[in-house]
Structure 1
Amino acid sequence: MTSNTYVSIPVVIVGGGQAGLSASYCLRKKNIEHVVLERYRFAHQWRENRWDSFCLVTPNWQCKLPDFPYTGNDPHGFMLKDEIVEYLEAFVRSFDPPLKEGVTVTEVSRRDDGRFVVCTNEQNYLAEQVVIASGGYDVPIIPSFAEEIDPSIFQIQAGDYKSPAQLPEGNVLVVGAGQSGVQIMEDLKLAGRKVHLAVGPAPRAPRMYRGRDATDWLYDMGHYDLTIRDHPQGEAVHEKTNHYLTGRDGGHEIDLRKFALDGVTLYGSLSGASGSEAVFAQDLEKNLDDADESYVGIRKAIDDYIATNDIDAPEEKPFEKVWRPEQEPSQLDFDRQNITSLVWAIGFRPDYSWLKVDVLNARGRPIFDRGVCTVKGLYFLGLGWLNTWGSGRFLGVGDDAQYLSEQIETLHETNRATLSKVS
């Protein structure tokens, strides 16, 4: 039962993932009192919403939480799920944040005096400032026609997928070729499953190129320092899907054309399904071509950087398409293909239904400038492209947290000075 009384506190942080914990660290350094409210256990997404073989797709050296960089013996490797959790646990031990777990925020609203009411299942708070660090992966995107599929087909979304053994015997349709979709596809393929993959418009990236991981080149090129203000696509970059590749077994790129040669059946985007039949758009070749165009574009940018800076790096063979669809299948009969499972991997969306402050646009996306809302005292943290590509990742969330902590400190001191004058 929620209390009718309020605990007054300068700052409430909603969310105990890497973003909320980074904000807590920065505020603790500034001696600003705050509390971190986490619905589950801290780092819940990493613990519970990743499959067993999950690993980072960016190298370990990019793990740069505030004053807590990766210090292991494999900076160019890719931490497994349990190692990521251990990294976060060590970060928490390093400063012991004021963390309250098992606390669900049910509403955040703003009073006429400018303070925020934060209601939870345990206690209500009256805060001068609020940081929303709950992430953007609350609700899996599953089309309405999923309900029309034969109930004998086992359906699961990527956040609940753990391993091939979780699925009933038989073949599998994976819907979505973003980072999660292609990695789950490979996980199933390596387990000996026959996989059908519905390929959407996600781009892909090289892994190793000209002697180094492509992300190393991109870092040196300043790619990760590019802000959304300077990005040629501007706000439209929010709509772009992440490039797919993997860190599995030391890391490698994923060329779906090679998987097609190795037995994975590819289709275009899934456009509908009913009973035991699925229908696909005729866009497979276009989606493969577009993904390759992105892949080749990254390689060319690296080539240009190497040439401009006269860097000695080994040459690479030009990219070649090893397979193309001679005829794009438009339909799939689950029964005939012995498909018993369907994995939805077409993304997530945030749920801000509990946020009763006018800071969302018509599409429900938060409106802010580098995380700072026009409503004074309200901030967002940990979202992709909040400022840079790394804002939603271990690479950039620490810098964003430091920036917001400075904004919070300025307002906090202003509030203290105002109270002092009144008293």
Structure 2
Amino acid sequence: MTVQTTSIDTLVVGAGQAGVAMSEHLSKHGVPHLVLERSRIAERWRTGRWDSLVANGPAWHDRFPNLTFAEIGPDSFASKEQVADYFVEYARKIEAPIRTGVEVTKVVRNQGRPGFTVETSDGTLEVLRVVVATGAFQRPVIPAIAPADERLTQIHSADYRNPGQLPPGNVLVVGAGSSGVQIADELQRAGRQVYLSVGAHDRPPRGYRGRDFCWWLGVLGEWDAEIMRPGREHVTIAVSGAHGGHTVDFRRLAHQGVMLTGLTRSFEAGVVHFQDDLAENIARGDENYLSLLDAADAYAARNGLDLPEEPEARVIPPDPACLTNPLRDLDLAQANVTSIIWATGYAVDFRWLQVDAFGENGKPKHQRGVSQEPGVYFLGLPWLSRRGSSFIWGVWHDARHIADHIATQRKYLAYYDSPTI
């Protein structure tokens, strides 16, 4: 792209799973478009994850409809590199007009003429529409309680790669969603003493009665649920595809050697203080786990499914000592904790998008990805249209809806450009 101003109908910002999906559906409608990616296609899968990460869903589920994974079976869990390669291949397959190494730095609405002016690291664009396909995992968040202690190595889970990256010593992992749990498990298996701070979470079974939990959530209508229960938007899900896929069980992690604690409350003079809520958080996770088993059993009975019984799935291991006698304070130096990994999620960062598309809380205001700012669209956000919106298959379906909306708008505009009028 040259430094001079270039015009395009629709600009898609980001070439991860959302941007690639958006490009496919725009192409099907014949919408001229350009996808800009500041790094490489699906870059965050390659360099924003730890080395051993695999997808949390099986390959038959965590993909787009029109391409399967070439190197693994449908019930296997793709490595992060396989997932990134998948999107590169998908982009090639659909001939997506993607330009990498170009960062979008500013978007403003034009005055007195249609569309937007877009400033990039490689010139200026005039566009009629902008699809923000940067997802929800843009800025790693480390909470303000993090101690200012130079003796500690502190990193976000986005920057963790492997146990050898950390200095000798024990590790505190704060956050017990999919990332925190898997990192804690990997560090403990590598010989580290790990303290895992556990907050509120959902804990689905990896599989039940011969079916993966992704299948169960599908047939039970959970993935397509369009109404979010209050307070459930940011509840973490403890699930893992590591080691061939297994159910996350915090009690088993503790019996394995991981020291569980409650939610991290504060740091003071080298001592970390935990909330007295570990038992409550574990109990709520168990309740979530058992409720899915109940729903699966009811569905199987109601539909006459001949699936093998699995009574052992309801066996809860005995409570470990760290659960019955929880740790409330930990002297980091005395415990030889030299590293803290903050598996505490991400925030969005739309500072470059200088349009009237946000509410007072800074979150995008939209309906199924169609922004309150005409001509601006969002894709890849949690609960964009349904529970599965931020997952690989979910973003593909949301992209189709947005492309349909764009195509309809183009038809209205084309009506008055017709030479027959």
Q: TM-score, normalised by structure 2?
A: 0.94
Q: Tell me if structure 1 keeps the 8 A contact 2:172–2:195.
A: yes
Return 95-104 or 163-172, whichever deviates more: 95-104
Q: Decide which of 398, 401, 414 is 2:399's aligned counterpart.
A: 401
User: How far apart are residue 176 of structure 1 and its match?
Assistant: 0.3
- The structure-2 alpha-carbon separation of the partners of 1:6 and 1:422, relative to structure 1 and needing over 3 Å to count, comes to farther
SS of aligned partner of 1:258: helix
Alignment of 1:321-340 (within 5 A): 321-323=317-319, 325-340=323-338
Secondary structure, aligned partner of 2:35: strand
Distance 2:154 2:352 in 1: 28
- Contact 1:194–1:264 (CA under 8 A) maintained in structure 2: yes
> What aligned pairs does 1:2-401 form with structure 2 within 5 A after superposition?
3=3, 5-65=4-64, 67-70=66-69, 73-112=72-111, 113-146=113-146, 148-228=147-227, 231=228, 233=229, 236-241=231-236, 243-315=237-309, 316-317=311-312, 318-323=314-319, 325-401=323-399
For each residue in 1:223-244, what CA deviation from the matched residue of structure 2 results, as whole angstroms up to 9, or x when unmatched? 222223xx5x16x542333x21
Matched to 1:327, the amino acid is N
Question: What 5-or-longer segments of structure 1 have no aligned partner?
Answer: none
Q: By how many angstroms is 1:129 displaced?
A: 0.9
Identical counterparts, % of pairs: 38
Give the stretch that moved more between structures: 266-275 or 42-51.
266-275
Deviations 1:37-69 (A, max 9, x none): 111111011010111110011111113325334
CA distance in 2, matches of 1:393, 1:63: 7
Alpha-carbon separation, structure 1, partners of 2:170 and 2:413: 61
Q: How many residues align?
A: 416
Q: Secondary structure at the match of 2:226?
A: coil
**SS of the residue 1:130 aligns to:** strand
Q: Are the structure 2 counterparts of residues 33 and 66 from structure 1 closer, same or farther at C-alpha, using a change threshold of 3 Å?
A: farther
SS of the residue corresponding to residue 130 of structure 2 reads: strand
Report the Cα distance in structure 2 between the residues aligned to 1:365 and 1:297, rounded to whole angstroms. 32
Paired letter, 1:10: D
1:358 is displaced (CA, Å) by 1.4
Larger CA deviation: 213-222 vs 392-401: 213-222
What is the alpha-carbon distance in structure 2 between the residues aligned to residue 224 and residue 142 of structure 1? Answer: 29
Q: CA deviation at 1:422?
A: 12
Deviation per residue, 1:92-113 (Å, 9 max, x gap): 2212221111111111121233
> 1:270-316 CA distances to partner (integer Å, 9 max, x unpaired)?
11114422111111111111111111111111111111112222222
Secondary structure of 1:196's match?
strand
The TM-score, its normalising length taken from structure 1, stands at 0.93
Partner of 2:324, secondary structure, is coil
Distance 2:420 2:172 in 1: 65
Q: Could you tell me how far 1:267 is from its partner in structure 2?
A: 0.9
Secondary structure at 2:150's aligned position in 1?
coil
SS at match of 2:384: coil
- 1:208–1:239 distance in 2 versus 1, CA, 3 Å: closer
DSSP 3-state at the match of 1:290: helix
Q: What is the identity, as a one-letter code, of the residue corresponding to 1:354?
A: W
Instruction: Render the CA deviation track for 1:309-363: whole Å, top value 9, x for unaligned.
Output: 1222222233425215222222111111111111000100110111111111222
Q: Could you tell which deviates more after superposition, 105-114 or 124-133?
A: 105-114
Residues 306-315 or 262-271, more deviating: 306-315
The CA distance in 1 between the partners of 2:317 and 2:161, in whole Å, is 32
Q: Distance in 1 between matches of 2:84 and 2:72?
A: 17
Distance 2:86 2:163 in 1: 27
Partners of 2:122 and 2:169 lie apart in 1 by 45
- What displacement does 1:199 show? 0.8
CA distance in 2, matches of 1:263, 1:14: 44
- The code of the aligned residue for 2:156 comes to Q
- 1:351-380 deviation digits (Å, cap 9, x = unpaired): 011111111122221111111112221111
Aligned mates of 1:73, 1:261 — CA distance in 2: 32
In the aligned structure 2, how far is the partner of 1:137 from the partner of 1:122? 24
**Cα gap change, 1:63/1:327 in structure 2, threshold over 3 Å: closer, same or farther?**
closer
What amino acid does structure 2 have at the position aligned with 1:37? L
- Contact 2:116 2:129 (8 Å CA) reproduced: yes
CA RMSD of aligned residues (A): 2.1
